[in-house]
C-alpha cells in the first residue's frame, strides 16, 4: 500500500468509526517534534496551530516526556480520596504565579470547559440569580460553559441551557454598569483576549472597569484564561498585563499540561474559598499525579528557558 493509499484508508476508517462533530479531519498526523509535525505520508509541516494553544513547549519536548514517564513509573492515578505530592506542588506553584493572596485555593479539572463548569458552580453558590457573560464569548461545550458562550449555533441545538445568564456587549462600560446596578449579579465571566471570537483583546480600560464595578457591587470577576494563560501573551496570565488587576476566580487549561489534559480553577482570597463546600463538586481524574507532573514540567521549562521574556520579544517584532 502506498503512503497515499494508507492515508486515504485511515481517513475512511475515521469517517466510519468516529462521530462527525469535527467534520472531515485535514490530515492524519503521525508524529511531532518541536515546532514540526509529520503526516502519515511522511510530509513535514510547520505547526502554527499547536493543538489549539495547547502544545506550549512544542511536540515531544524532552522535559515533558521525562516528567510524564517518570511519574507514570511511580504513580499515575490515585483518585481524590488520596493526595499526591505533584498535585500539591502544582497548586502551590499556580498560586505563586498568579500572585494569589492568602486564603486562595485551586481546584483541578481535565479541560477548559470543566474548569468553567466549576467556576459556574462557584458563582451559583453566591446565592445571586444573575450571571453576566460577554458577546463573542467562548467558554466551552458542556451545558454550563455553553450557557455563558454567546454563539447561537453552539447554543440553540441544546436549549434549554442553565438559566440566569445574560450577555452584555464586550467593551461597553455603560452596559456593564447598568447590568450590575441592581446588585443581584453573582459573577461576570470574561476572556481578557477573546480567543474563539478571532483574538479580540478587551481594552485595559475595560478590564479595569470590570474589576472596579464588580467589586463595587459584590460581584465575582471570573476570568477565563484557558487560552490566554500559561505564558502565551508574555505574562503568565494575560490579565497580569494590567497593573494590579486580580480576578476573584481564574480558569486555566489548554497550555497548562503542554498536551496532557488538565484544567484548573484558581479561587482568590478567603471570601471565594468556601463557596464550594465539601461534597458540592468533584472529579475522578482532576489533579491526578500524571497530569500534575506534566504541568509542573511545562511551568519549570517556561521558567528555566525564560520563555515569557522570549514571547514578549518575538511579540514585539
Q: State yes or no: residue 224 binds ligand PLP (CB under 6 A).
A: yes
Q: Which of 100, 191, 210, 301 binds ligand PLP (CB under 6 A)?
A: 191
Rounded distance, CA 151 to CA 138, Å?
8
Segment near ligand PLP (CB under 6 A); pick from 127-135, 191-199, 264-272, 279-287? 191-199
Q: How far is the CB of 48 from ligand PLP (least distance, A)?
A: 16
H/E run at residue 31? strand 29-33
Q: How far is the CB of 195 from ligand PLP (least distance, A)?
A: 4
The three state secondary structure string of 150-177 is: CCHHHHHHHCCCCCCEEEECCCCHHHHH
Segment near ligand PLP (CB under 6 A); pick from 41-49, 151-159, 222-230, 289-297? 222-230
Q: How far is the CB of 312 from ligand PLP (least distance, A)?
A: 21
Q: State yes or no: residue 134 binds ligand PLP (CB under 6 A).
A: no
Closest by CA position to 208, among listed 182, 178, 169, 239: 239
Q: How far is the CB of 145 from ligand PLP (least distance, A)?
A: 7
Q: Which of 140, 231, 247, 257 binds ligand PLP (CB under 6 A)?
A: 140
Closest by CA position to 109, among listed 285, 290, 296: 285
Residues 6+ apart with CB under 8 A from 36: 44, 45, 46, 47, 59
Q: State yes or no: residue 138 binds ligand PLP (CB under 6 A).
A: yes
Q: State yes or no: residue 117 binds ligand PLP (CB under 6 A).
A: no
Strand partners, 259: none
Q: State yes or no: residue 253 binds ligand PLP (CB under 6 A).
A: yes
Backbone angles phi, psi at 161, to 5 degrees: -95, 165
Instruction: Give the DSSP letter string of 173-239.
Output: HHHHHHHHTTS-EEEEEE-SEETTTTSEEPPHHHHHHHHHHHHHTT-EEEEE-TTTTTTTTSSSSGG
Segment near ligand PLP (CB under 6 A); pick from 18-26, 62-70, 110-118, 231-239? 110-118
Q: Which residue has the cell 489534559?
A: 261
Count of residues that bind ligand PLP according to CB under 6 A: 15
Q: State yes or no: residue 139 binds ligand PLP (CB under 6 A).
A: yes
Q: State yes or no: residue 231 binds ligand PLP (CB under 6 A).
A: no
Segment near ligand PLP (CB under 6 A); pick from 97-105, 107-115, 182-190, 198-206? 107-115
- The closest residue (CB) to ligand PLP is 112
DSSP assignment letter at 6: H
Q: How far is the CB of 116 from ligand PLP (least distance, A)?
A: 6
Strand partners, 200: 194
Which residues bind to ligand PLP, rule: CB under 6 A? 111-113, 116, 138-140, 191, 195-196, 224, 226-227, 253-254
Amino acid at each position: 500500500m502506498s503512503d497515499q493509499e494508507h492515508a486515504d484508508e485511515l481517513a475512511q476508517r475515521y469517517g466510519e468509526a468516529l462521530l462527525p462533530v469535527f467534520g472531515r479531519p485535514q490530515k492524519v498526523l503521525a508524529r511531532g517534534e518541536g515546532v514540526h509535525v509529520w503526516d502519515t505520508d511522511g510530509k513535514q509541516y510547520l505547526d502554527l496551530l499547536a493543538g489549539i494553544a495547547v502544545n506550549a513547549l512544542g511536540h515531544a519536548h524532552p522535559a515533558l516526556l521525562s516528567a510524564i514517564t517518570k511519574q507514570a513509573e511511580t504513580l499515575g492515578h490515585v483518585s481524590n480520596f488520596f493526595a499526591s505530592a505533584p498535585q500539591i506542588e502544582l497548586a502551590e506553584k499556580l498560586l505563586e504565579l498568579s500572585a494569589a493572596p492568602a486564603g486562595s485555593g485551586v481546584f483541578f479539572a481535565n479541560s477548559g470547559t470543566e474548569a468553567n463548569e466549576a467556576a459556574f458552580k462557584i458563582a451559583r453558590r453566591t446565592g445571586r440569580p444573575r450571571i453576566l457573560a460577554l458577546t463573542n464569548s467562548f467558554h466551552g461545550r458542556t451545558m454550563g460553559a455553553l450557557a455563558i458562550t454567546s454563539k447561537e449555533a453552539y447554543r440553540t441545538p441544546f436549549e434549554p441551557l442553565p438559566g440566569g445568564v445574560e450577555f452584555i456587549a464586550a467593551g461597553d462600560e455603560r452596559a456593564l454598569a447598568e447590568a450590575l446596578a441592581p446588585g443581584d449579579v453573582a459573577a461576570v465571566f470574561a476572556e481578557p483576549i477573546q480567543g474563539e471570537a478571532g483574538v479580540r483583546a478587551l481594552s485595559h480600560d475595560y478590564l479595569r472597569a470590570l474589576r472596579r464595578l464588580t467589586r463595587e457591587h459584590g460581584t465575582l470577576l471570573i476570568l477565563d484564561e484557558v487560552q490566554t494563560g500559561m505564558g502565551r501573551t508574555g505574562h503568565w496570565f494575560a490579565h497580569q498585563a494590567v497593573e494590579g488587576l486580580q480576578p476573584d476566580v481564574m480558569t486555566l487549561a489548554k497550555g497548562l499540561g503542554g498536551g496532557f489534559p488538565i484544567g484548573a480553577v484558581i479561587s482568590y482570597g478567603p471570601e471565594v474559598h468556601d463557596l464550594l463546600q465539601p461534597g458540592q463538586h468533584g472529579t475522578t481524574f482532576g489533579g491526578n499525579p500524571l497530569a500534575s507532573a506534566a504541568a509542573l514540567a511545562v511551568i519549570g521549562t517556561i521558567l528555566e528557558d525564560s520563555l515569557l521574556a522570549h514571547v514578549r520579544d518575538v511579540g514585539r517584532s
